[in-house]
């Protein structure tokens, strides 16, 4: 199982970015998939998830601004990030989680993730 993120970069406040995560070695649609982020000196924070039934969930701080989606044909996960603010600055990681899929079904539980990528850095300036 391998996850490779891309799409990070530097943007000004109010801007947009789309992160991508290509999964290899398995079928992403069979997994709970999602994103978490970690800013310097802060705890990891669940951002968004998409479960095997297509249901999605978002962290409170990104609701209404971020959208998670999945291209099953290309085994790729996306995170569309709009209206970015400096507080969104962090390393963003793609994750895959198997049953019981706690990341998707237990408020972004990060304690038993099956796999995660190397991360992609998002920097938002004011």
More confident residue, 114 or 57: 57
pLDDT tens, 73-108?
Answer: 999 999 999 999 999 999 999 999 988 899 999 999
Count Cβ atoms below 10 Å from residue 102 Cβ, excluding itself: 17
pLDDT(37) > 80: yes
DSSP 104: H
H or E element: which one contains 123?
strand 120-125
């Amino acid at each position: 199982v391998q996850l490779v993120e891309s799409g990070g970069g530097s943007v000004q406040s109010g801007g947009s970015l789309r992160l991508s995560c290509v999964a290899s070695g398995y079928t992403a649609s069979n997994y709970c998939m999602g994103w978490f982020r970690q800013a310097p000196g802060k705890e990891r924070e669940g951002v968004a998830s998409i479960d095997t039934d297509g249901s999605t969930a978002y962290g409170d701080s990104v609701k209404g601004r971020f959208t998670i989606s999945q291209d099953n044909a290309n085994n790729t996960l996306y995170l569309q990030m709009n209206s970015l603010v400096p507080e969104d600055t962090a390393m963003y990681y793609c994750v895959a989680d198997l049953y019981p899929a706690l990341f998707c079904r237990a408020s972004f539980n990060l304690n038993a993730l099956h796999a995660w990528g190397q991360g992609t850095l998002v920097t938002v300036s004011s």
